[in-house]
Amino acid sequence: MAATVIIDEEECLGCESCVEMCPSVFAMNDDGDKAIVIDGADGDEDCVDEAIASCPAECISKE
């Protein structure tokens, strides 16, 4: 079972580092100022853990 990836969009700085590291899971919202999790993305990908560790706002987590 894949983990669910969560971004606290209120805390997101919009730096795009998670999108660059893991474009299969993260994207920028329509306004281009916050990261979002792509619907149906696989939270078990290795790049998700890298994105969590490198997020300057510490707003990404897995359940």
- 19-44 pLDDT, tens digit per residue, is 999 999 999 999 999 999 999 998 88
Instruction: Supply the DSSP string of the chain, one letter for each residue.
Output: -PPPEEE-TTT-----HHHHH-TTTEEE-TTSSSEEEPTT--TTSHHHHHHHHH-TT--EEE-
CA distance 9 to 14: 9
pLDDT of residue 15: 97
Percent of the chain with pLDDT over 70: 98
Q: What local confidence, expressed as pLDDT, does residue 42 receive?
A: 84
Domain range list for the chain? 5-62
- Across the chain, mean pLDDT equals 94
CATH topology of domain 5-62: Alpha-Beta Plaits (3.30.70)
Q: Give the HSE-up count for residue 2: Cα atoms under 13 Å, Cβ half-sphere.
A: 13
Confidence of residue 1 (pLDDT cuts 50, 70, 90): low
